[in-house]
Structure 1
Amino acid sequence: MNRVGFIASSLLVALALLSSMMFVVDQRQYGVVYALGQIKHVITEPGLNFKLPPPFQNVSYIDKRLLTLDSADAEPMLTLEKQRMVIDWYVRWRITDPQAYIRNVGLDEAAGANQLNRVVRNAFQEEINKRSVKDILSHKREALMAAVKKEVLEVVKGSNPWGVDVVDVRITRADYVDAITESVYRRMEAERKRVANELRSTGAAEGEKIRADADRQREVTIANAYREAQKIKGDGDAEAARTFSDAFGRDPQFAQFYRSLDAYKATFAKKSDVMVLDPSSEFFKVMRGSGTAPAAPAGKK
């Protein structure tokens, strides 16, 4: 029984020892093997690997993927005109040489991110100091980002290389600080109001001009129509007078009789009308029958 237990214990120890000597490197990682605190070798290919058991050799892993570093500092930067602006940015970077990275930067990705954040911010501050707000907000922003990337690469690949590569540097936001932003918004609002008032004034003046022109055309049109109407009316009155004159000139007695009838019609327009006249007045001459009767037409008795 003791022999069986000894064999089982030996197998467990052997398995534990074998397990401590085996390790797997993922395709997303570098495997760094240390021998008594010194880097023995770096495994870049994924798969199963072997090493000496601890404490003779240990293994650590470093990410080999493309990493993203976002700006975490909201401290404003000064432009060429001494304007205070807040710049948000991000950097895409990766570890290319694990040995150089561990020796010069740190044991993990966080150490590289901290140092890279400082370098990128200094590069942005230096480049923004050379440029105006207009350059930062216009198409010249691409030149700004390219210059920052160049400066960062000069640092990380300089005389003491970090073992990293900076793939891209981008600005995500460029804005004034809150106090200046509020002032800018107020100026923009005032400018928009000024333009709106100017447009309203111009529109009102143009409206008055159009209304005045329409009123003038209306008066001219009415005057021309009235003149034409009076002319037509005068021509009609003249034609009517000529017609009456021709008709009454042929028979004066009939003309007098017709005019007397018109006078009676106008005088006795209502039943309640009362007139006080001298019976011998010429006004009732036709009604009394004392007037001269109209001459009978030729051929009639």
Structure 2
Amino acid sequence: MRPIYILPVLFILLVLFLSSVFIVDERKKALVLQFGEIMQEKETPGLGWKIPFIQEVVYYEDRILGLQTAPIEVTLLGERRLVVDAFARWRITDLKAFRQATGAGGEERAQVLLGNILQQAIPEVLGKTTQDRVLSQDRTGLMNDIRDIARREAEALGVTVIDVRLTRTDLPEQNLNATYARMRAEREREAADEVARGGEAAQRVRAAADRTVVEETSKARRTAETIRGEADAERNRILAEAYGQDPEFFAFMRSMDAYRKALRGENSTIVMQPDSEFFDYLNSEAGAAGAAPAAPTAAPAAP
């Protein structure tokens, strides 16, 4: 063979070789298709062979995939309604069945089909239980029931549903507003009760303080009256003793004190008759005698 033909032949052989070889990554699985029919499965990583230009290779994920469902409004026992969504983990286990079920859509088509299965399984399970169980922390049994139904329905798709978890359980918007209003009313009632109890306690403290003030005031007034009475008694006793020692002088001082109090002030004016009882002491002999200076007494003679 001439050298001029060797290079084209080698190039054609290289192209044929490269077209007949495919590589499967450890994260993938592969199907070899010929005119749409499955000719070969390749589930282990490594090199694979196919007929060039006639057969094609389609790759699928060998890893665990996730699916987030759309929110679903579910009617529970007791006619209570909840908006629920879930998260599922799944994996392709049967390539031939998966290809036949999803066609050229692959994983995207499988996500849609699994979503439909979950949207039927969730109401089927939750429709038989109560709101308290759905909203409780111990709802693993409900999620396992949903998983089992989804796993059974998904076998025809060539996939295995590994796990299903409820991610959200909320009230519908109209029920949510009513619930918030009821919660707000309960909180306002509790606040009113606390205010009433606080007012009652304040009233009791205020009444006790007022009673203490009255008692202390009465006690102080009683003590003051006692002291004042004792002082008046002592004053009267002293006055009585003084009166008993010199009645005329005591009468004179009382009259002078009365005159001083009556005539006190710059513009004081008294209009009365000269023979009024007010001037009895000055007109009496005792008053004149009291007003006159006492006569000196003679000193006693020396013995």
| Normalised TM-score (structure 1) | 0.81
Q: Which structure's residues are more often helix, by fraction?
A: 2
The match for 1:128 is 126
Q: 2:15 & 2:211 partners in 1: Cα distance? A: 110
After superposition, give the CA deviation of every residue in 1:88-107 in whole Å (9 maximum; x if it has no partner): 11112222343443345555
Q: For the residues of structure 2 that align with 1:240 and 1:106, how far apart are their CA atoms?
A: 126
Taking structure 1 as reference, are residues 275 and 41 closer, same or farther at Cα in structure 2, changes over 3 Å only? Answer: same
Alignment of 1:292 with 2:297, yes or no, is no
> 1:90 corresponds to which residue?
87
CA–CA distance in structure 1, aligned partners of residues 146 and 283 of structure 2: 124
CA apart distance, 1:109: 1.1
d(CA) in 2 for partners of 1:165 and 1:239? 113
Please name the residue that 1:21 is paired with. 20
Deviation at 1:69, TM superposition (A): 0.5
**2:225 aligns to what?**
230
Alignment of 1:217-296 (within 5 A): 217-278=212-273, 281-282=279-280, 284=282, 290-292=288-290
Alignment partners' CA distance in 2, 1:214 and 1:240: 38
CA-CA distance at 1:140 after TM superposition: 3.7
TM-score (norm 2): 0.80
Determine the C-alpha separation between the residues in 2 that align with 1:15 and 1:91. Answer: 45
2: CA distance, partners of 1:300 / 1:128: 134
Q: Per the alignment, in what secondary structure is the counterpart of residue 144 of structure 1? A: helix
Distance 2:51 2:132 in 1: 62
Alignment gaps of 5+ in structure 2:
none
Distance (Å, rounded) in 2 between the aligned partners of 1:266 and 1:93: 116
Decide whether aligned partners of structure 1 residues 284 and 147 sit closer, same or farther in structure 2, where only a CA change above 3 A counts. Answer: farther
Name the residue aligned to 1:40: 40
Structure 1 residue 283: Cα displacement: 5.2
| Cα distance in 2, alignment partners of residues 300 and 32 from structure 1 | 162
Question: Structure 2: how far apart are the matches of 1:285 and 1:89?
Answer: 123
Equivalent in the alignment of 2:9: 10
Separation in 2, partners of 1:14, 1:87: 59
**Matched residue count:** 291
Distance between the aligned counterparts of 1:283 and 1:66, measured in 2? Answer: 131
> Residue by residue, what CA displacement relative to the aligned partner does 1:154-210 show, whole Å, maximum 9, x if unpaired?
3335xx5x4433232111211222222223233333333333334434444444444
Instruction: State the identity %.
Output: 32
Cα deviation, 1:141-164, whole Å, max 9, x if unaligned, reads 22211221222233335xx5x443
Secondary structure, aligned partner of 1:76: strand
Residue identity opposite 1:118 in structure 2? N
- RMSD of aligned alpha carbons: 3.3
Letter in 1 for 2:173: D
- Give the residue type in structure 1 aligned to 2:42: V
Q: Helix, strand or coil for the counterpart of 1:276?
A: coil
Paired residues for 1:164-179 under 5 Å = 164-179=159-174
Write the distance in 2 (CA, Å) between the matches of 1:300 and 1:164. 151
